[in-house]
């Protein structure tokens, strides 16, 4: 498989479908489902995920940057796209050109959007983001009141939505801070929602959608969960306590072709800095993957990859484009065999949560930093599970 490639990423279409089906099942039917595809669809490949989303229960795409919205349009997405991040004033016209909804973060951005909408003779669709306690992007109650007033005077922005974002919903089983934010949001937006029923209210990320149905409103914004990862251990614990069924399956696997297999004498040093000295005669595989690809340098000496169903530890430092691993105990291994950096090999499994634990970060970061240059392929693991790749399951 992919004989000509050094490394590639496989996207499991059936896992993405199953994860979205789980969200569809737990989120109230009245709420629409947004799939968040920022950061190259959490490293999965924007074009690949948009292609799949068209035949899945996805109503809206969410992006961070305007250009991601343009890319989603170019990939053929016909439905709504909400830009969740800031857009420079000089680019606001492109929102009209590509029919993108914008997040309005303050009065200055509203003013700039109004000018563009007025000049075009067609209002920009804007969502006002409200400050409810995260203190990230957004406007407080006084600014919100002024913004509503200005929009009602019809100056080039049409009120499409009202949003906020939770501060502390992943890292805790205690939802009290989130409930406080929810109460503020509800108090500020309920009168607007009554007067303008078409305005889309949205607050929920994956963790909120899974565990706090009262945050769903008209739309939930699902990122990490759709890609098969729990937002945190606490989210999984809380979900398990509330629901007996339902699991998430990682969508992405990352594979690389072994370039060389070598025997190293006991006592030899491996790699830059002489940080690793092998204590036994060691069989070592050299992989054409490094920190430039998203295999973090913090995995030096501590990370593993999977080779022929065995865990192979990283030897020495991770280089820019190369990493060495110990395959002494992995059975017969040869150049051109496939190593699994994320995914399953034989009975062994490694995912972004495992790497995140070593690196003291979150799976989001592991996925988002996978180089966009790695080729992505859509596969259907359910359809192909009868025929495992012999190179992987030797
Ligand atoms: C990234 C993001 C989300 C998705 O969060 P997940 O935890 O990945 O589901 C939702 N809303 C906003 C505003 C975001 O920036």
Instruction: Check pLDDT > 70 for residue 166.
Output: yes
DSSP string covering 345-364, please? ETTEEE-HHHHHHHHTS-HH
222 lines ligand 1 (CB under 6 A): yes
215 lines ligand 1 (CB under 6 A): no
Residue 128 bridge partners (DSSP): 104, 162
Cα of 36 to ligand 1 centre, how many Å?
7
Active site residues: 38, 272
Residue 385 pLDDT level (bands cut at 50, 70, 90): low
231 lines ligand 1 (CB under 6 A): yes
**pTM (2 d.p.):** 0.95
Report the nearest-CA residue for atom 4 of ligand 1.
223
Cα of 301 to ligand 1 centre, how many Å?
33
Mutate to test the pocket of ligand 1, among 22, 32, 62, 138 (most ligand atoms within 8 A of CB): 62
Q: Tens digits of per-residue pLDDT, 310-328? A: 999 999 999 999 999 999 9
Please identify, by atom number, the ligand 1 atom nearest to the C-alpha of residue 42: 8
Residue 388 pLDDT level (bands cut at 50, 70, 90): very low
Print the SS3 string covering the chain. CCCCCCEEEEEEHHHHHHHHHHHHHHCCCCCEEEEECHHHHHCCCHHHHHHHHCCCCCCEEEECCHHHHHHHHHCCCCCCEEECCCCCHHHHHHHHHCCCEEEECCHHHHHHHHHHHHHHCCCEEEEEEECCCCCCCCECHHHHHHHHHHHHCCCCEEEEEEECCCCCCCCCCCCHHHHHHHHHHHHHHHHHHHHCCCCEEEEECHHHHHHCHHHCCCEEEECCCCCCCCCCHHHHHHHHHHCCCCCCCCCEEEEEECCEEEEECCCCEECHHHCEECCCCEEEEEECCCHHHCCCHHHCCCCEEEECCEEEEEECCCCCCCEEEECCCCCCCCCCCEEEEEEEECCEEECHHHHHHHHCCCHHHHHHCCCCCCCEEEECHHHHCCCCCCCCCC
Cα of 375 to ligand 1 centre, how many Å?
25
- Supply the DSSP symbol for 101: B
127 lines ligand 1 (CB under 6 A): no
307 lines ligand 1 (CB under 6 A): no
Question: How, if at all, do strands 124-129 and 102-104 pair?
Answer: parallel
3-state helix, strand, coil in the chain (%, to 5): 35, 25, 40
Q: Tens digits of per-residue pLDDT, 57-83? A: 999 999 999 999 999 999 999 999 999
Cα of 34 to ligand 1 centre, how many Å?
10
Helix (H) or strand (E) holding 70: helix 66-74
Mutate to test the pocket of ligand 1, among 27, 208, 223 (most ligand atoms within 8 A of CB): 223
Residue 155 pLDDT level (bands cut at 50, 70, 90): confident
d(CA 42, CA 375): 15
Cα of 62 to ligand 1 centre, how many Å?
9
Cβ atoms of 255 and 340 within 8 Å: the answer is: yes
Both structure tokens of 108: 């200055």
37 lines ligand 1 (CB under 6 A): no
Q: Tens digits of per-residue pLDDT, 214-271? A: 999 999 999 999 999 999 999 999 999 988 688 999 999 999 999 999 999 999 999 9
224 lines ligand 1 (CB under 6 A): yes
Cα of 204 to ligand 1 centre, how many Å?
8
Mutate to test the pocket of ligand 1, among 221, 224, 230, 233 (most ligand atoms within 8 A of CB): 221
169 lines ligand 1 (CB under 6 A): no
Q: Tens digits of per-residue pLDDT, 94-122? A: 999 999 999 999 999 999 999 999 999 99
Residue 180 C-beta-side C-alpha neighbours within 13 Å: 10
Please identify, by atom number, the ligand 1 atom nearest to the C-alpha of residue 224: 8
Please give the mean pLDDT across all residues of the chain.
95
In this prediction, residue 172 carries a pLDDT of 87
Buried b (16+ CB within 10 A) or exposed e, 328-342: bebeebeeebbbbbb
In this prediction, residue 312 carries a pLDDT of 98
In this prediction, residue 91 carries a pLDDT of 98
223 lines ligand 1 (CB under 6 A): yes
In this prediction, residue 150 carries a pLDDT of 96
Instruction: Check pLDDT > 80 for residue 48.
Output: yes
Mutate to test the pocket of ligand 1, among 22, 36, 233, 368 (most ligand atoms within 8 A of CB): 36
204 lines ligand 1 (CB under 6 A): no
In this prediction, residue 308 carries a pLDDT of 96
In this prediction, residue 386 carries a pLDDT of 47
Report the nearest-CA residue for atom 6 of ligand 1.
223
Instruction: Check pLDDT > 50 for residue 292.
Output: yes
Q: Tens digits of per-residue pLDDT, 318-366? A: 999 999 999 999 999 999 999 999 999 999 999 999 999 999 999 999 9
Both structure tokens of 246: 């339902």
Please identify, by atom number, the ligand 1 atom nearest to the C-alpha of residue 207: 7
- Supply the DSSP symbol for 392: T
15 lines ligand 1 (CB under 6 A): no
């Amino acid at each position: 498989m992919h004989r000509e490639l050094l490394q590639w990423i496989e996207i499991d279409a059936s896992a993405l479908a199953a994860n979205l089906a789980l969200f569809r099942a737990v989120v109230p039917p009245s709420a629409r489902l947004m799939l968040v595809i920022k950061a190259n669809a959490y490293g999965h490949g924007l074009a690949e995920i948009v292609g799949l989303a068209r035949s899945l229960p996805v109503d809206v795409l969410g992006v961070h940057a305007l250009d991601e919205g343009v890319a989603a349009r170019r990939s053929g997405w016909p439905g709504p796209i909400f830009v969740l991040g800031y857009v420079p004033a000089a680019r606001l016209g492109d929102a009209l050109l590509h029919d993108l909804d914008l997040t309005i973060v303050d009065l200055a951005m509203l003013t700039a959007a109004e000018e563009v909408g007025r000049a075009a003779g067609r209002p920009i669709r804007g969502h006002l983001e409200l400050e409810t306690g995260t203190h990230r992007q957004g406007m407080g109650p006084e600014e919100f009141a002024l913004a509503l007033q200005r929009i009602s005077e019809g100056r080039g922005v049409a009120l499409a939505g009202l949003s906020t974002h939770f501060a502390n919903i992943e890292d805790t089983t205690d939802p009290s801070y989130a409930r406080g934010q929810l109460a503020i949001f509800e108090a500020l937006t309920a009168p607007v929602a009554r007067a303008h029923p078409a305005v889309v209210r949205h607050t929920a990320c994956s963790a909120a959608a899974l565990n706090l149905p009262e945050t769903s409103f008209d739309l939930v914004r699902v990122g990490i969960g759709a890609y098969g990862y729990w937002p945190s251990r606490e989210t999984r614990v809380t979900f398990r306590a509330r629901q007996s069924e339902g699991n998430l399956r990682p969508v992405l696997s990352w594979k690389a072709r072994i370039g060389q297999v070598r025997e190293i004498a006991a006592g030899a040093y491996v790699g830059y800095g002489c940080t690793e000295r092998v204590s036994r005669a060691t069989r070592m595989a050299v992989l054409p993957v490094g920190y430039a690809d998203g295999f973090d340098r913090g995995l030096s000496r501590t990370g593993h990859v999977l080779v022929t169903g065995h865990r192979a530890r990283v030897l020495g430092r991770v280089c820019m484009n190369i990493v060495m691993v110990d395959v002494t105990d992995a059975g017969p291994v040869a150049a051109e065999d496939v190593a699994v950096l994320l995914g399953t090999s034989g009975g062994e499994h490694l995912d972004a949560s495992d790497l995140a634990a070593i690196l003291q970060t979150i799976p989001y970061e592991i996925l988002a930093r996978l180089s966009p240059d790695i080729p992505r392929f859509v596969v259907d693991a359910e359809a192909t599970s009868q025929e495992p790749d012999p190179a992987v399951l030797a």
